[in-house]
Structure 1
Amino acid sequence: MKVFAMIFLTLFLTKGCDRQLSDEMKEATIEYQATSRGFYLNINIQDEKLTMTRQRDGETKEYELSNQDWKDFANLYKKVDLDKLSEYKDPTQKRFYDGAAIANLRVVYEGKTYVTKGFDHGNPPIEIEEFVNKIVSFSDN
């Protein structure tokens, strides 16, 4: 009986944490932008919706994220330390000689804005690599 109670409580508390994280994600606005002379990508994620623009002054398309995509994204979001976002070092500097687009990640949460230093599109800082790659993967679909 104790084992059953432990399993039930574990599942119940995990679901509560998922719901809390999902609610926290709904309050956040996440923006990824990559630009160069011939490339532009802007992805905004807020409240289970994604908006994407592929050209400067171009058409903005809106997509509804699936429950699984939202859950995966929320799990990656909880690994990001917003307070250290501006301190992460870029692993490469190809953007300095037009070898890559300049990318930035910006998160607005509870009235505070957290921004990364510029990094190469396709090669984000290691600490946020999975998170950024998930954001960019939405543009592939």
Structure 2
Amino acid sequence: MKILSLLLLTLFVATGCCSQKKTDMTSTQIEYSAMSRGYYKSIVVQNKSVSVTKERNAEAVQSKIDDAKWNEIVTAYSKVNLENLSSLKAPTDKRTYDGAAIGNLKITKDGKTYETAGFDNGFPPKEIEKLVNLLVDFSKE
């Protein structure tokens, strides 16, 4: 009986340590936009697909996201505190004198929208830097 108890306890601990909670992203939309007088970019990620618009009034280019890249996005997203998103401080202020386009991250989850204050395109707040950089990579392809 002791051996059976020990075996069950070991199995329980091993499965608890090895399994990670997967973040459910089926009802989540992540949108990154950057704009200034002569610049426009919009990247929308939802349900393993991405839509990229590089010019105002242009047609969006849609594509699928491979599993490896999707897992990176899910991991970066899971580290973002949605409630504090609007209070993040931008590390630079180039956008105030047209030195950089204004970047913005908007996340819609379960019908509720969370949005950052404007920050310099290319210089996001540290708390969302990994996620923003993963999104911007889609516009470079």
When normalised by structure 2's length, the TM-score is: 0.88
* Higher Rg: 2
Provide the aligned C-alpha RMSD in A: 1.6
- The match for 1:80 is 80
Q: Alpha-carbon deviation of 1:9?
A: 4.6
- The match for 2:17 is 10
The size of the alignment, in residue pairs, is 134
Matched letter for residue 41 of structure 1: K
Task: Write the mapping of 1:85-104 to structure 2, written as runs, cut at 5 A.
Answer: 85-104=85-104
CA distances 1:10-50 after superposition (whole Å, capped 9, x unpaired): 33x22xx12xx1xx212101110000111110000001110
- Unaligned runs of at least 5 residues, structure 2: 1-5
Q: Alpha-carbon deviation of 1:4?
A: 7.0
Q: Alpha-carbon deviation of 1:97?
A: 1.1
Higher helix proportion: 1
In structure 2, distance between residues paired with 1:83 and 1:112 = 11
Residue 25 in 1 paired to residue 13 in 2?
Answer: no
Q: Alpha-carbon deviation of 1:8?
A: 4.5
- The match for 1:53 is 53
When normalised by structure 1's length, the TM-score is: 0.88
In structure 1, distance between residues paired with 2:28 and 2:15 = 31
3-state DSSP of counterpart to 1:86: helix
- Unaligned runs of at least 5 residues, structure 1: none
